[in-house]
Structure 1
Amino acid sequence: MAVSISSNMASGVLLPAPFFKKGKDLRFSSLQCNSGSPIRLSNCASNPRFSRKRLFQVQATILQEDDEKVLVEKSFDPKSFPEKEREGTPGSSTDDSPSSSGFEKWIIKLEQSVNIFLTDSVIKILDTLYHDRHYARFYVLETIARVPYFAFMSVLHMYESFGWWRRADYLKVHFAESWNEMHHLLIMEELGGNSWWFDRFLAQHIAVFYYFMTACMYALSPRMAYHFSECVESHAFETYDKFIKTQREELKRLPAPAVAVRYYTEGDLYLFDEFQTSRPPNSRRPKIENLYDVFLNIRDDEAEHCKTMKACQTHGTLRSPHSYPDSTWEDDDSGCVLPEADCEGIVDCIKKSVRDPPANKR
């Protein structure tokens, strides 16, 4: 398996703005930030596709295996953010003073430092308990990885019940993500990853604690919750990537679980397309011939989760892949799509519910 990693390879690559997020120079495992070039944003006036076609320069890591490339986005240095990035966005604050910008960057650094500390702590525990027990480790990872999406949907339903906001695209995408992670879990169970009671006990109890922690985090700071999920998904990507590199020949000799064949190749693949917000529907159709193909596609799924979690950190830009006409993915003349009026976090929701009369809400 040939792997090519270059921090300068994508210095001239232009990516869509939903993958832009506020963050700091991060280093967790092998994923790290290299955003030395200034970010260039176009506005709605110069580019009619505001929500998906704002472009900027980034440096990314491209993992190449044979002829297939998997792109995993990285977190950016907050010093590189345009101080007036949110200027002109509906619902954004007009206070762009240096003190306000500096305080926001400090909050972002604090949030991400806490997330990285928590992620690294869990990784050390898993490394100690599951050094050579791969399928059991994957079972624990997948039991934990699907929990945040349940938490996100719970908080979004709460907001909707209170009449604070309604955003169907977020609910659709998060449900599709949980559906994908559930099938990863079913695959690991079919491979025997849950055969020992201790593994089931550990994974399920961590998941319960993780749910309430993520729900509280998401209510207070959606950006922080999405970044934490990005860290978890990044670790999952690296874990599977390392596994298929070291076990490639053995995995190619083993048959694929039936549940994997059904999920990736049979039936309606609407939900499979739905969580991959960086690509148009029907653009990825996996082949499953052996167990190696299964783990290769699970790894690629985790890379797509990373991209979606990064897109969510820029508030109001996430949209379902099926929300766009087919021509939108190819044509730049689709019109300016503005973010919906909503709120970010429970504090913002309460403030707007008190400030804005119900008649003025969309």
Structure 2
Amino acid sequence: MKMLIRLIVSFFVFIVDVVYGDRSYARFYVLETIARVPYFSYVSVLHLYETLGLWRKADLLKVHFAETWNELHHLLIMESLGGDRIWIDRFIAQHIAVAYYWVVVLLYMLFPQYAYYLMELIEDHAYQTYDDYLKINEAELKSQPAPQVAINFYRDGDLYMFDEVQTTSNHEFRRPKVDDLYDVFVNIRDDEREHVKTMVALQKPEARQTFKSPHTVFELIAANTDKTG
């Protein structure tokens, strides 16, 4: 199954690279539109299980919704940069997203571990794509201002949802710079790395029972510290 998933992702990446070439913002717009979809699928299935009284895991719902929120702001940033300017790009992204939603719903219901593996590969590709883009375009990006939507999301707004996608080992949340467009793409790239970490963690056999969201982990640490202190 993993081999099949890798082949499908590789084929999709190849098609996107061929179609969009050096139209970076349009390609990022399409990728971010599609990248949100699995998190919607996960949340939908989890809601179904809870509604039917089969299974409930609040932390999974919270983290997956936070991931959709994170990807939404990546999408808003790409729109602010003109990535959705041409109607055919919107048409392609939105129609693929609708079909992809139902594919992931079915996969998540039957094989949740593989649904997370699929997203791990996609988010890892996104990380590598943004990292390569940063290396090639560093000087140009540093000369351009950060879009206001990025400033609001990464610095000036309510950061609770931003924190909920962070898998940290030192129990500190990221507080990134947003001084220019280069910083914005660094932040988006680093967000994708956080998504990869979460997808890897959720593939562990015990994850559905033991997984805790970042804020839940911090609350448990604080409670234990108070008890021992």
TM-score normalised per structure 2: 0.93
Question: Is 1:281–1:322's contact at 8 Å kept on the other side of the alignment?
Answer: no
Distance 2:218 2:101 in 1: 35
Partner residue of 2:8 out of 118, 126, 136: 118
TM-score normalised per structure 1: 0.59
Distance 1:291 1:309 in 2: 27
Distance 2:54 2:216 in 1: 22
After superposition, the Cα gap between the structure-2 partners of 1:278 and 1:181, relative to the gap in structure 1 and judged at 3 Å, is: same
Distance 1:148 1:297 in 2: 21
Report the counterpart of residue 152 of structure 2 in structure 1: 262
- Report the Cα offset of residue 286 of structure 1: 0.7
Q: Secondary structure at the match of 1:205?
A: helix
Aligned-pair identity in percent equals 55
The structure with the greater share of residues assigned to helix is: 2
Q: Secondary structure at the match of 1:228?
A: helix
- Report the Cα offset of residue 281 of structure 1: 6.3
Matches within 5 A, 1:1-362: 111-279=1-169, 282-314=172-204, 315-316=207-208, 317-325=210-218, 328=221
Question: Is 1:176–1:271's contact at 8 Å kept on the other side of the alignment?
Answer: yes
Question: Is 1:275–1:304's contact at 8 Å kept on the other side of the alignment?
Answer: yes
- Report the Cα offset of residue 309 of structure 1: 0.6
The structure with the greater share of residues assigned to strand is: 1
Distance 2:39 2:179 in 1: 30
Distance 1:277 1:296 in 2: 17
- Report the Cα offset of residue 328 of structure 1: 2.5
CA RMSD of aligned residues (A): 2.1
- Report the Cα offset of residue 267 of structure 1: 2.3
- Report the Cα offset of residue 261 of structure 1: 0.4
- Report the Cα offset of residue 119 of structure 1: 0.3
Q: Secondary structure at the match of 1:324?
A: helix
Q: Secondary structure at the match of 1:272?
A: helix
Q: How many residues align?
A: 225
Distance 2:218 2:9 in 1: 38
Structure 1 runs, 4 residues or longer, greater than 4 Å off: 279-282
Greater C-alpha Rg: 1
Question: Is 1:280–1:321's contact at 8 Å kept on the other side of the alignment?
Answer: no
Distance 1:319 1:227 in 2: 19
Distance 1:320 1:283 in 2: 13
- Give structure 2 stretches of 5+ with no counterpart: none
In the TM superposition, what whole-angstrom CA distance separates every residue of 1:163-219 from its partner, at most 9, and x where no partner exists? 111100000000000000000000000000000111001000110011000000000
After superposition, the Cα gap between the structure-2 partners of 1:323 and 1:248, relative to the gap in structure 1 and judged at 3 Å, is: same
- Give structure 1 stretches of 5+ with no counterpart: 1-110, 335-362
Report the counterpart of residue 108 of structure 1 in structure 2: none
- Report the Cα offset of residue 126 of structure 1: 0.5
